[in-house]
Chains A and B, each alone.
Chain A
Amino acid sequence: MARIIGGLTTSHIPAIGNAVPKEQQLRDDPYWKPFFDAYPPARAWLAKEKPDVAVVIYNDHGLNFFLDKMPTFSVGAAAQYQNADEGWGIPTIPPFKGDPELSWHIIESLVADEFDITSCQEMLVDHGFTVPMSLFWQGNTYGDVKTIPVCINTVQHPLPSPLRCFKLGQAIGRAIESYPKDLKVVVLGTGGMSHQLDGERAGFINKKFDLLCLDKIVNEPEILTRLSIHDLVKEAGAQGAEFILWLAMRGALHHNVKKIHSSYHIAVSNTATGLLVLENAA
């Protein structure tokens, strides 16, 4: 049977996408050093565990979806996924392998579980998906890992609640662990932590709230599912609402997890960055 071995979360800031190819040169750069220094333990865990599949829970920022059709939850079902020009110069990187058979299993299981998602046989993946993959698989060495994009709307309100996203994650967990093939699966939740790009409050960061989230999500995620989207916008900033993606990841894991690594840094670009590696307890 397929098995979820753990989950990872990381910020997906576009500036990181531009810095990642230059990581070797930036290793001692005072701006980037504290950020990149956090990643070796996450990479080491992946190198040791060697997952076959990465389910990537992310948000599209206007590459694949526009306001003409804005699904709340969508799941990729393609053999391959690519990124593309997003308008401000993020590099195009090698394509990602899909696993259509597993995608359709997840889609069927989710709909049977009352999550009426949108299936996508063509899907461009943006920085919300690609930056974490490039960060975790250094040098874009993700070629052997099959990916399943799961996209959650954070563009147009109403956004799905933290509780709903956590439950979606739980349903994804049930879907994966009922798949008959022997596969090791990791679940990624991308985005966050506190940041706000728009309005007179642009630049807002809330360290206290971020650290609370980073702590509670490990063993008491249910507490965080009591927050509303409005609470998240207020406490984590307009785009800090992306924390729902982390909660979806957490929902896919078991109740008992072991924290392998975590890190928090202010800031890259306008965003407080957070990194978390959780391993499923047996």
Chain B
Amino acid sequence: MAVLTHHEVDIPGTYVFDGHAAMKGYALNKMCYSFNSAAAREEFLKDEEAYCRKFGLNAEQTKAIRDRNVLEMIHAGGCIYYLAKFAGIFHLTVQDVGAQQTGMSVEAFKKMIKAQGE
């Protein structure tokens, strides 16, 4: 079996979070992991940019966070399991996040999911 990397995975619209991505996204994911703690979430909301600096996010990662852009976060090495904790701060569900990434409204995204059972 060929070993595929983050950038080579041949399934359209799919990203494999591998060692390459894990190195690239370490700071971003570490920051998002910190959001397991309510105190960390509060600290982030008080001064987002300062919190990103504290974890050493690069410009691409900081911009993705500022823009709340999940696809950009993934391109910057983000892993969805940690990014979900970032989304949680804003009470966004995985369906909101799915809608954003697919460019659909949340209603259309939910319909698309349900339709796959029909």
Residues of A within 8 A of B (CB): 14-15, 61-63, 66-67, 84-89, 155-158, 196-203, 205-207, 228, 230, 233-234, 237-239, 265-267, 269-270, 272
Q: Given A197-B80, A201-B11, A266-B113, A62 and B33 touching (CB < 8 A)?
A: yes
Residues 1-38 of chain B: 1 if any A CB is under 8 Å from the residue's CB, otherwise 0?
11110000101111111110010001001101101111
Which chain A positions have C-beta within 8 A of B3? Answer: 158
Q: Which residues of A contact B98 (CB under 8 A)?
A: 197, 202-203, 270
**Contact at A200–B101, with CB atoms within 8 Å?**
yes
Where the two chains meet, the residues of B that have a C-beta atom closer than 8 Å to any C-beta of A are: 1-4, 9, 11-19, 22, 26, 29-30, 32-33, 35-38, 41, 70-71, 74, 79-89, 91, 93-95, 97-98, 101-102, 109, 112-114, 116-117
Pair A155/B17 contact, Cβ less than 8 Å: yes
Q: A85-B37, A88-B87, A207-B116 are in contact. Are A67 and B14 (CB under 8 A)?
A: no
Known: A198-B80, A199-B13, A269-B94. A67 touches B113 (CB 8 A): no
Instruction: Find out whether the CB atom of B101 lies under 8 angstroms from the CB atom of A198.
Output: yes
Q: How far is A197 from B109 in the complex, measured between Cα atoms in Å?
A: 12
> B87 to nearest A CB, angstroms?
7
**A35 to B99 CA separation, bound complex (whole angstroms):** 23
When chains A and B are docked, how far (Å) is the Cα of A206 from the Cα of B116? Answer: 7
* Cβ contacts under 8 Å, A61 to chain B: 81, 84
Tell me, rounded to whole Å, the shortest Cβ–Cβ distance linking B95 to chain A.
Answer: 6
* CB atoms of B36 and A86 under 8 A apart: yes
> With A and B bound together, what is the CA distance between A272 and B80 in angstroms?
18
Q: A237-B14, A265-B117 are in contact. List 20 more A-B contacts (CB 8 A).
A: A66-B29, A67-B79, A86-B85, A87-B36, A88-B85, A88-B88, A88-B91, A89-B91, A155-B81, A197-B94, A198-B14, A199-B101, A201-B14, A203-B98, A205-B116, A230-B4, A230-B9, A266-B113, A267-B117, A272-B117
Known: A157-B16, A207-B117, A233-B14. A198 touches B74 (CB 8 A): yes
Q: Closest CB of chain B to A134's CB: distance in Å?
A: 19
A201 to B3 alpha-carbon distance, docked (Å): 21
Q: Are A238 and B94 in contact (CB under 8 A)?
A: no
Q: How far is the CA of A88 from the CA of B92 in the complex (A)?
A: 9
A199, B114: Cβ atoms under 8 Å?
no
* In the complex, number of A-B residue pairs with CB atoms less than 8 Å apart: 136
**A-chain residues with CB within 8 Å of residue B83 when the two chains form the complex:** 198
Contact A199 B74 (CB under 8 A): yes
Bound CA span A248–B50, Å: 44
Docked-complex contact A66 and B30, CB < 8 angstroms = yes
- Inter-chain contact A270/B16, CB cutoff 8 Å: no
Given the interface pairs A89-B88, A199-B74, A238-B14, the reply to whether A84 lies near B93 with Cβ below 8 Å is no
- A selection of 5 A-B contacts at a CB cut-off of 8 Å is A84-B36, A89-B91, A157-B18, A198-B80, A238-B14
Return chain A residues, CB-CB under 8 Å to B95.
269-270
Q: How far is the CA of A66 from the CA of B31 in the complex (A)?
A: 11
Are A233 and B13 in contact (CB-based, < 8 A)? no
B84 contacts A88, C-beta separation under 8 Å:
yes
Known: A266-B113, A266-B117. A15 touches B93 (CB 8 A): yes
Q: Cβ of B102 and Cβ of A156 under 8 Å apart?
A: no
Chain B residues within 8 Å of A203, by CB: 98, 102, 109, 112-113
B113 touches A196 (CB 8 A): no
- Could you say which residues of chain B place their CB within 8 Å of the CB of A157? 16-19
Residue in B19, B101, B114 whose CB lies within 8 Å of A267: B114
Residue of A nearest to B82 (CB): A62
Cβ-defined contact, B22 with A67, below 8 A: yes
CB pair A233 B80 closer than 8 Å: no
Cα distance A197–B96 in the bound complex, in angstroms: 10
